[in-house]
Structure 1
Amino acid sequence: MSRRVRIGVQLQPQHAPDYSRIRDAVLRAEDAGVDIVFNWDHFFPLTGDPNGAHFECWTMLGAWAEQTERVELGALVTGGGYRNPDLLADMARTVDHISGGRLILGIGAGWFERDYTEYGYEFGTPGTRLNLLKDSLARISARLGKLQPPPLRHIPILIGGKGERKTLRLVAEYADIWHSFSDVDALAHRNQVLAAHATAAGTDESRIERSVQWLGRPEADALHAAGVTLFTVGVSGPDYDLTTVREAIDWRDGVNPELLEGLA
């Protein structure tokens, strides 16, 4: 399956002294030409001052859905254990409607222990969190099929993670997009593992878009040659400098020359 390369930006909702900084960054990102604007689903900063300013994920996505006109949006990624999965499906459907059909439902098993302990969730083990993710994906899928009105489109499911035995099996069964922190060699190996899981599940692994973090042009060239078509630049507050985002967009436009033709 041939796909155009896309560029996302993850506006990490940390260290912004007031929400207006984030609102402005969303506007600038859409104007710059990104394809997707992500946030993340944590409750505390992951870098810098651990007790610094931070905002919640899904409330923000509802605001972004109203604020933006073109970009897709979502969390990279939602913590699978933070919300009742049927409720999460309803939240996703609602944001999908608010945005006019532009939501991506990113989800993962979760890993940041402080999120769990300070907000009263059971942290468990990697195995128990992945088992919970498996159950959640099944419930989300079922609930999306029952909601009235239904989503405006098939809401793409993005699963984040790289575990070969459990996570990639879930990717094969449920995901439209797979996000991993992989170099070229690791990606080639995990692609083979994913293909085996897809065969076992009776699904077509070629329908799953590969997604990674932007690491620069040389790395992007190699990863694109290996099949990656979604690259996301992480940007933090308080200033949300989009310089690297614009570099990634320039690279994308060289890989997808039809984009430039459409702007001519």
Structure 2
Amino acid sequence: MSPLSTVRLGIQVQPQQADYTAIRDTVLRLEELGADIVFNWDHFFPLYGDRDGKHFEAWTMLGAWAEQTERLEFGTLVNCNSYRNADLQADMARTLDHISAKGGEGRFIFGTGSGWFERDYDEYGYEFGTVGGRLNALADALPRIEARWAKLNPAPTRKIPVMIGGKGEQKTLKIVAKHADIWHSFVAPAELGHKLDVLKQWGDEVGRDVSEITVSNELTRGSADLEHADALFDAGVRLFTLGIGGPDYDLTAVREYLAWRDAKNARLAA
């Protein structure tokens, strides 16, 4: 939450309504354009458009991205904790970290959340349960994930950044205060101050300085809305994410937001 931290742009390449060749080529174009991070999402069916349209699984795709890219950080926005054993998630994350290292540190970001899309649960045989139950499961999983990272051989190449999505004040923000390096939400600029106050209160309770947590938020899809981006920046956001969809993955707004990012960073550096 430092006002001097660098502005970064992450692009969520939605793994839906497209052939995989289009997804792969879009990731390459984003690296060439200078995006900071590329994300997918952890679902089994499309969220927009034809609900039975083309769709691909997240974690398998991330292995390909780890190999095909050289500079981009990458991850899911966000992983669903319900779908995989906590220790397995840690091992998968560590493996992606090493695949992407290529002589240096890995580039994987472990984005995670409690899950919400009921169709995924029903059709793939997971128990949907309740919002509270899924959040409790996420709270239980994260210490196991961190403990497994400490045991794995070889260890991760770096402290794998943890991004946690959600905005609930009683459970989610407490989990963020305990475990997150990045907090992601869809909170409007006018609401962010209150949410950050709640996050600080949880940080005080768990004994952590939450000013070290990067605040992440969504940009407006379609044409670039730079006024909205400015309002998020003024509210403390430093990681900005933009979703783009298939089949063609139009990058017009990406280019506009990249220019905006560069201007903001130039001012911060001045």
TM range (shorter): over 0.9
Query: Hey, what does 1:20 align to over in structure 2?
Result: 21
Tell me the secondary structure at the aligned position of residue 228 of structure 1: coil
Residues 36-80 of structure 1, C-alpha deviations (whole Å, 9 max, x = no match): 000000000001111100000000000000000001000000001
Paired residue for 2:53?
A: 52
Alignment of 1:167 with 2:207, yes or no, is no
* Contact 1:253/1:260 (<8 A) preserved: no
Q: Which amino acid aligns with 1:4?
A: T
**2:240 is the alignment partner of 1:217:** no
Aligned to 2:36: 35
* Partner of residue 251 from structure 2, selected from 242, 250, 254: 242
State, as a whole percentage, how many aligned pairs show the same letter.
61
1:183 aligned residue? 188
Query: Is the partner of 1:81 in helix, strand or coil?
Result: helix
Matched, 1:71 2:72: yes
Aligned partner of 1:123 among 124, 128, 132: 128
What is the CA–CA distance in structure 2 between the aligned matches of 1:259 and 1:11, rounded to whole Å?
A: 28
Q: Which moved more, 1:213-222 or 1:163-172?
A: 213-222
**What displacement does 1:246 show?**
0.8
Give the partner amino acid of 1:113: E
Quick check: 1:184–1:226 contact (8 Å CA) kept in 2? yes
Query: Which residue of 1 is the match for residue 199 of structure 2?
Result: 194
1:73-111 deviations in Å (ceiling 9; x for gaps): 000000010100100000000000000110000000100
Counterparts of 1:78 and 1:142 in 2: how far apart (Å)? 19
Correspondence for 2:113: 108
Q: Structure 2, unaligned stretches of length 5 or more?
A: none
1:208–1:126 distance in 2 versus 1, CA, 3 Å: same
For residue 81 of structure 1, what is the aligned residue in structure 2? 82
Q: TM-score, normalised by structure 1?
A: 0.96
Report the counterpart of residue 144 of structure 1 in structure 2.
Answer: 149
Measure the CA separation in 1 of the matches of 2:42 and 2:107.
18
More deviation in 230-239 or 214-223? 214-223
Q: Aligned partner of 1:117: which letter? A: D
Instruction: Tell me the alpha carbon deviations over residues 89-136 of structure 1, each in whole angstroms, 9 at most, x when there is no partner.
Output: 000000000001100000001000001010010000100000111111
Give the Cα separation in 2 of the matches to 1:26 and 1:50.
Answer: 23
For residue 11 of structure 2, what is the aligned residue in structure 1? 9
Give secondary structure in 1 for the equivalent of 2:82.
Answer: coil
DSSP-derived class of the 1:165 partner: coil
**One-letter amino acid matched to 2:80:** G
Distance 1:56 1:205 in 2: 33
Show the counterpart of 1:99: 100
Aligned CA-pair RMSD: 1.4
Distance 1:133 1:153 in 2: 22
Query: When the two structures are aligned, how many residues end up with a matched partner?
Result: 260
Return the offset for 1:260.
Answer: 11
